[in-house]
Amino acid sequence: MKWLANFMPNLNIPLLIGTVILIGVSLASFYFSGASHERHKWQAKQNIELLAVQQKLLVANSLNRDLERAAVLQAASLKTIYEGKLQDEKAHAASIIADIQRGARRLSVSTRAVPTCEGTTGSATTSFSPALTETRAELSDSATADILAIGRSADQAIIESNYVKDLLMQCYGHVESLGAQ
């Protein structure tokens, strides 16, 4: 170490060790601050990408909510239309029942047609006419009520099935492809 003493005559060893440690700590902190800076840049880039994805999700969710609102409005419109049809059918059935009860209408069924004969009995000029006469039998009140109830149920079922079909067409675009799924 003589050469060191000649080179630096007033060298203080503890000062030299402290300087070396200080330089090492400075270099280490400089290195780690650079690595930290790179990590911060990476995190900032990831945050920007996440914000872009979040914005896309917000737009998609907004569009989905708008589509759902439109579908609900269309379904409510269809419901109103078909409820109106059901009310019209009930009013029509009630008017038919009222007409029957006051005698303005009568429900009857066709019975067997009977051929008629024209002429006088015992004469030689008796002719047989192939014309058929139709006879009708009037239905009883309970039979009339039963037939009307069956008709109302059938009409209601048709209206409700058309409503369901229209709802399915609104949701899926076409009903025929539902069976293929």
In tens, the pLDDT along 19-78 reads 888 888 887 777 777 667 777 888 889 999 999 999 999 999 999 999 889 888 888 898
pLDDT band at 169 (very low <50, low <70, confident <90, very high): confident
3-state secondary structure (DSSP) of residue 155: helix
Quote the strand ranges of 105-177, DSSP E. 108-110, 114-118, 127-133, 136-138
User: Domain for residue 159, yes or no?
Assistant: yes
Domain count for the chain, please give it. 1
User: Domain for residue 4, yes or no?
Assistant: no
What is the C-alpha separation between 117 and 129, in angstroms, rounded?
Answer: 6
User: Domain for residue 144, yes or no?
Assistant: yes
CA 92 to chain centre: 32
CB 127 within 8 A of CB 115: no
Read off the pTM.
0.49
User: Domain for residue 153, yes or no?
Assistant: yes
User: Domain for residue 5, yes or no?
Assistant: no
Q: How many CA atoms lie within 13 A of 113 on its CB side?
A: 6
Query: Residue 142: which domain range?
Result: 13-180
